[in-house]
Amino acid sequence: MQNQTDIGLFIALGSVVMFLLVVVIILFVVVYQRKMLEKESRIKEIEQEKQIQLFKATVEAEEQLKEKIANNLHDSVNPMLSLLKMNLSMHKRNLEKNKFNPDSFKEDAELIDQAVEGIRSSCRELIPSFLIEFGIIKALDDYIRNLNKNEHIEAVFENRQPGNTDVCLSKQDQLSAYRICMEVLNNLFKHAGYTNLHILVENRPEGFRVEFSHNGKGISNEEIDAITDSSKGQGLKSLKVRVLLLNADLNYIKGTGRPGIHFSVPASRSELIN
Amino acid sequence: MTIEKLYILLTYIAIASIFVPISVALYKRKAFNIQLRALLVYMIVYAIFDITNHILTIYRINNCALFNIFTCVEFMLLLFIYIQELQIKQKLSIFLSFVIPLLFIASIEFSFTDPSNITSGIVAVIMMGFSVFYFLKIFLDLTIPKLTNYYFFWLNSGVLIYFAAPFILSLFEKHIRDDDSQASFFLWAIQLFTNLIYSTVLTIGVCKIKRT
């Protein structure tokens, strides 16, 4: 009789334990999913914050460009046009007094030439005409040729497919890629302290690639990320935005061999179709 | 319906139920990685054991030797699956460090007439440990977006339930065997019911595997 009661108790206990086990598993799933949702919303918040920062950086980059154009026009074109206006007033007065000297137009023509050159130079900064006409490879080659005028720097430009200057990028993408290259070269010039620079360009059906290697101070991806995230990395933030918008990849190499930066852009969609 | 009839009915349902996840697994076998292939082998071994065990019971032949061998094979296959799924670094050494001592204990305890209770108890404890460890790991990692859509969650839950039942039963083994009343049938019916749950959970798990 006692044995029968014991078995009944064991069965009841066993059933309760099994039932509890199932309940614990169900509770586990509920708690897990709740934690997962929290994690996902945290990730979303971080991503949103990043998006906002990127948007801010884009706006700042645009503002900087506008400011640069405004400064260029103000500093180089405006004084000349003001001077020209003064000259014209003077000519009017001289004409009224019959003291007009036709040679004085020469000076005015020079002023107009200078103003035109100033406007051209601003336009070049907006859209480099060389790039539009000859493409990114020639534009980079041209930039390196100018860089070599600096007697402290030895820069070498190499095209993996010599003679071929066609690239798998649309004009718009070439312009963006060129701006990124300019920003990279500018950063290297300011911070790497190199005396020897080697640029290798390679055009492949799947994308365009530029390798910058130098004998100066290298920087890693982690260090760049840290500077970008800090308040002083405004230029790097806009560079990051440009890279993101182009769906490109900018990789900072440090530690093995010569330090450098590898920049690769996937082929533009229309170029791929072609 | 008497307990005995319920027991027989449950036995047939439990045996038949294992063929459901096997069929689904065979259908999806092209998408299987190494642990899933091991799972398929395990399910086939499980089905063969269940059928043979039942035939031996019908002919009143002692099935303890078969049970003892199956306990070791089942342990090795499940351990292999867990080691693969948990992506443990030193796979072979971990596998051997569990298997060698267990086989040693099993060989000492082995008998043609009695079940290896110590061995099956140890297997149950280790497998429950792995199951709890897996739950803990996924809870801390939080890498699976929807837990119920992941096949191993179901397999792991099934393992926990499947081994918890014989573990509880093994604690009362003496009472069950000494008593030949309807209570022992009822208790073994719980075991069969657990097996049925195990097959169902395995089926859900295998169904969650994406066929490529």
Segment A1-25, tens digit of pLDDT: 556 666 667 667 777 877 888 899 9
Phi and psi at A236, nearest 5°, equal -65, -35
Percentage with pLDDT > 70 across chain B: 88
Instruction: Say whether A7 and B176 touch across the interface (CB within 8 A).
Output: yes
Q: For residue B145, what is the DSSP state?
A: S
Give how far Cα A190 sits from Cα of A180, B70, B160, Å: 15, 72, 63
Q: Does A20 touch chain B (CB under 8 A)?
A: no
B92-145 residue pLDDT tens = 899 999 999 999 998 888 777 777 778 888 998 999 999 999 999 999 988 888
- The domain limits of chain A are 1-126, 130-273
Q: What is the pLDDT of residues B14-35, one digit of tens each?
A: 888 889 999 999 988 888 888 8
Instruction: Map tokens 């022992």 to a residue.
Output: B184
Average confidence (pLDDT) over B147-176? 80
Task: Give the per-residue pLDDT at A273.
Answer: 43
Give the tens place of pLDDT for each residue, A61-75: 778 778 878 887 888
User: Does the domain spanning A130-273 belong to CATH 3.30.200.20?
Assistant: no
In terms of Cα–Cα distance, which of A128, A219, A119 is closest to A177? A128
Distance from CA of A233 to the nearest CA of B (A): 32
Domain ranges of chain B: 3-207
Secondary structure (3-state) at A196: strand
Nearest CA in chain A to B160: A21
Q: Which residue of B has its CA nearest to A12?
A: B187
Mean per-residue pLDDT for B162-183? 66
Q: With 0.90 as the threshold, say if the pTM is over it.
A: no
**pLDDT digit string, tens, across residues A72-92:** 788 878 888 888 888 888 888
Digit-coded pLDDT (tens) for B103-116:
999 888 877 777 77
- pLDDT bracket for residue A106 (50, 70, 90): confident
User: Does A25 contact B165 at a Cβ distance shorter than 8 Å?
Assistant: no
3-state secondary structure (DSSP) of residue B91: helix
H-run or E-run covering B100: helix B91-109
How buried is B206 (Cβ within 10 angstroms: 0-12 exposed, 13-18 middle, 19+ buried)? buried
For A22, nearest residue in chain B (alpha carbons): B161
Q: Tokens 């007697």 appear where?
A: A151
pLDDT in tens, A213-227: 999 888 988 888 888
- Whether the ipTM is more than 0.90: the answer is no
